Structure formats: C-alpha cells, structure tokens
C-alpha cells in the first residue's frame, strides 16, 4: 500500500501548469490566478490626508497662549485640492481630505471650539497627529500582488486601490467529471429497485466550483467497456483533466482500468488511507486522469488529498496540502492501522473537537456535518485527549 505523501509527490511531479493567459477587467478576475507581478504606479494614499473630521493647523503658528483663536481660512471637503494654509489660520477639514501645504496637525472637531469664523483648541497646543502620511499603505513601485497568487476579494480591492484596471491571469482550467455506475440515477428521478442517486456528480461540481475551475459535466457512464471508452475519449477533447468516480476496482463491473490502459497509461494504487479505496491516476491520451473511488465519502477525501493539490498546480498556484493544527482528540483508536485515517470531526467555536459517531465510508452525512478532518497517522494508537492534527475545511476549499 502506498502512503499518502508518496502518492501525492508522484502525482504532483507530473502536473504541468497551464501557460495560456488572458487579460481580464478586475471585476471579472475574482478567484483567478495572477500570471504576472502587479506593481503600484502610485503612492497610496497619494498625499498626506486627514484621519478625522476637524480642523487643520500648523503647530508653529501657536504662540503658546492657551486660548489662541485661529481664523478659518478655507474649507477642504474630501475630493478637493486644498490651497496652501495661510500662516496663522486654520482650515476646516474632513476624513480623507488632503492636508494643505504648510499644515501639520489635525485636531478632531470634538476637541475644538468654534465661534463665528474662528476656531480654538481649549485643550491647549495640539501635537502633530491625526495625519495619514502619503504612501503609508503602499509605496509607488511596490509589488502588490505576485504571480501565482489567487485573486481574493482583498487582492482585488488592493489592485483597485493602486488604479490597476485589468490583470493578466491564467486561463480557467476545465475539468471533466464522469460518474460511472449502472445503479446511478439523477435527483428528481424516481428510484427503481437497485438504484441510488448520483451524489458524486454534485459533490465534485461543487468542489471544482470552489476552486474556480470550470466543470465539464459528462454525466453518468454505463458500466460497459464501450461506454467507458467513449466517455473518456470525449472528455479528452474538452477537458484539461478528467475525473471519474467509481468503477476503479478490479471487479467485473469495473471498466475504468481497462479503458484507461487502452487509451493511455494507468497507475493504480492501493492507498494506505481510510476512507479510500484504490486510486487510479494516469493519462487518457495526453490528458491527466484521476479515477476516484465510487463511495462518496472516499471521493470527497481523495479529491481533497490528491486531485485538489494537483489541480492547484495546474492552475498556476502553489499546491497545498495543509498540515492542520494539533488539538486534543475527542475519540480513541485502540487498534493500530496500516492506513492513515481521516476522521470527520466538528471543531466548535470554543476550539473543541467532536467526532461524527458514524465514520463508515458509506455515510456521506458525516462529511456534511463535519467542518474538519482529523488525521490519525498509520501505525498510531490514539487515546482521548492525545494531540492529533486537524485540517479545517476552510483550509481545504
């Protein structure tokens, strides 16, 4: 049996990132992967500006007298260009307004007293403050987003803040999904005897969507060599990567292995992982191929552990298999196993772990209930309270 990390390394070695790029307006670039460094053509903020609504002074105009009055010589709403501050006067200023030349101090309006067109600071001489200096956020020429970064909402905001209107990104990855199994029917249809609903199709479509990948849904594939060959061949025409579920064992009704061997090359591993069954990886023609197990819980876990990092690398991202953080186990494992186990757990708001009572790989509801996977390494005994690594879903998708 192959350890998880060995299999992942072997798979990742073969992943070739997409090289084609396109230029997109910022508004359409969310989730995409940046293809070239973006630097700032400006300082942000572009000028010293006020952090408060209040009055702006020059501290050297203070004559030392506590109650010195200053004439208000101009009003500077945000978005306007200020005049130089006339010596000995103050100006009305608002949050974000530019500090006029010759001024160096904003006093918040709550600390000022006004009368007619005059202002004074009863608290005494103000100190130099409440000014957000030019370039404090970003300096002109600084790299704000790096190639290979995913464009998160924060990154989009940052790019907008430096005036970048469009960005070069890698083209979107297209991944075909095939659900093998004569027993599968679609939600909305009526179940006949012997049939079950196709859940993997929707599970994978959602996981791919979360990654910003375009799913090419090829639906259900009958358990025959002909149908399998046909579906796989078709997938190579449309997709960068092919994912299938089920039919990957070596039973009479499992046709993935034979079909992939005919059309390309296959590596089939018995993975030292629970839940999980054989995982197939290879290529159909030149298109990379993953044969995930049919069991939906196994599909979920093997997708996250193997397909996801591979797809990340193809997208132009740094592939990541998060290591998680250690926390006390809510469960025990008295018998050592040769398989690394991924236990569906919930980490509550207080940071305490709870495990789903049914860890059977047929229980998809455990994955929906959970918000994290606790990792029990191979050959390890766990008592309640022992530290185990926990990978939260939000680190996985």
Site string for ligand AMP, 188-207 (x = CB under 6 A): --------x-xxxx------
> How many Å apart are CA 126 and CA 111, to the nearest integer?
10
Q: Is 332 in the site for ligand AMP (CB under 6 A)?
A: no
* Among residues 82, 100, 246, 282, the one that binds Mg ion under rule CB under 5 A: 246
* Among residues 82, 102, 126, 247, the one that binds ligand AMP under rule CB under 6 A: 247
Phi and psi, residue 114, nearest 5°? -120, 155
Place of tokens 């990948």: 213
> How many Å apart are CA 222 and CA 44, to the nearest integer?
59
Check: CB of residue 258 under 8 Å from CB of residue 325. no
Closest distance of CB 17 from ligand AMP, Å: 29
Phi and psi, residue 150, nearest 5°? -80, 140
The β-bridge relationship of strands 372-376 and 387-392 is: antiparallel
- The token pair at 187 is 């939600």
Q: Choose the one of ligand AMP, Mg ion, none that binds residue 236, judging by a C-beta under 5 to 8 angstroms depending on kind.
A: none
> How many Å apart are CA 67 and CA 191, to the nearest integer?
86
Q: Is 179 in the site for ligand AMP (CB under 6 A)?
A: yes
Q: Choose the one of ligand AMP, Mg ion, none that binds residue 248, judging by a C-beta under 5 to 8 angstroms depending on kind.
A: ligand AMP
Q: Is 183 in the site for ligand AMP (CB under 6 A)?
A: yes
Q: Is 267 in the site for ligand AMP (CB under 6 A)?
A: no
Q: Among residues 102 and 246, whose Cβ is nearest to ligand AMP?
A: 246
Residue 387 exposure: Cα atoms within 13 Å on the Cβ side: 3
Nearest residue to ligand AMP by CB is: 294
Q: Is 224 in the site for ligand AMP (CB under 6 A)?
A: no
Check: CB of residue 290 under 8 Å from CB of residue 347. no
Give 193's contacts (C-beta < 8 A, 6+ positions apart). Answer: none
Q: Among residues 256 and 284, whose Cβ is nearest to Mg ion?
A: 256
Element at 120 (helix H, strand E): strand 118-120
Q: Is 228 in the site for ligand AMP (CB under 6 A)?
A: no
Closest distance of CB 279 from ligand AMP, Å: 11
Which residues bind to ligand AMP, rule: CB under 6 A? 179, 181, 183-184, 196, 198-201, 245-249, 293-296
Which residues bind to Mg ion, rule: CB under 5 A? 181, 246-247, 294
């Amino acid at each position: 049996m192959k350890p998880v990390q060995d299999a992942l390394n072997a798979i990742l070695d073969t992943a070739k990132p997409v090289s084609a790029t396109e230029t997109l307006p910022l508004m359409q670039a969310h989730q995409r992967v940046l293809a070239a460094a973006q630097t700032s053509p400006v300082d942000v903020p572009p000028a010293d500006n006020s952090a408060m609504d209040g009055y702006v002074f020059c501290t050297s105009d203070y004559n030392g007298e506590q109650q010195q009055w200053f004439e208000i010589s101009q009003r500077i709403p945000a978005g306007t260009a200020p005049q130089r501050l006339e010596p000995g006067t103050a100006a009305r200023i608002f949050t974000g307004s530019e500090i006029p030349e010759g001024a160096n101090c904003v006093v918040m309006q709550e600390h000022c007293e006004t009368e007619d067109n005059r202002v004074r600071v009863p608290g005494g001489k103000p100190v130099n403050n409440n000014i957000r200096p030019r370039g404090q956020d970003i300096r002109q020429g600084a790299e704000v987003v790096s190639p290979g970064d995913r464009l998160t909402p924060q990154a989009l905001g940052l790019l907008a803040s430096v005036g970048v209107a469009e960005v070069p990104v890698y083209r979107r990855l297209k991944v075909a999904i095939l659900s093998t199994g004569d027993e599968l029917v679609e939600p909305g249809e009526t179940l006949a005897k012997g049939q079950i609903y196709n859940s993997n199709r929707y599970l994978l479509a959602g996981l791919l969507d979360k990654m910003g990948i375009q799913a090419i849904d090829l639906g259900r594939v009958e358990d025959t060599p002909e149908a399998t060959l046909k579906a796989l061949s078709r997938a190579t025409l449309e997709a960068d990567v092919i994912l299938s579920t089920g039919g990957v064992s070596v039973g009479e009704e499992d046709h993935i292995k034979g079909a992939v061997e005919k059309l390309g090359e296959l590596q089939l591993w018995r993975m030292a992982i629970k839940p999980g069954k054989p995982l197939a990886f290879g290529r159909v023609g030149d298109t990379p191929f993953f044969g995930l197990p049919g069991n939906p819980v196994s599909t979920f876990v093997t997708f996250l552990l193997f397909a996801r990092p591979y797809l990340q690398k193809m997208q132009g991202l740094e592939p990541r298999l998060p290591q998680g953080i250690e926390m006390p186990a809510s469960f025990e494992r008295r018998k050592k196993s040769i398989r690394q186990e991924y236990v569906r757990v919930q980490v509550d708001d207080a940071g305490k772990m709870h495990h789903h009572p049914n860890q059977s790989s047929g229980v998809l509801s455990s994955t929906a209930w959970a918000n994290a996977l606790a990792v029990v390494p191979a050959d390890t005994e766990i008592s309640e309270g022992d530290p185990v690594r926990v990978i939260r879903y939000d680190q996985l998708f």
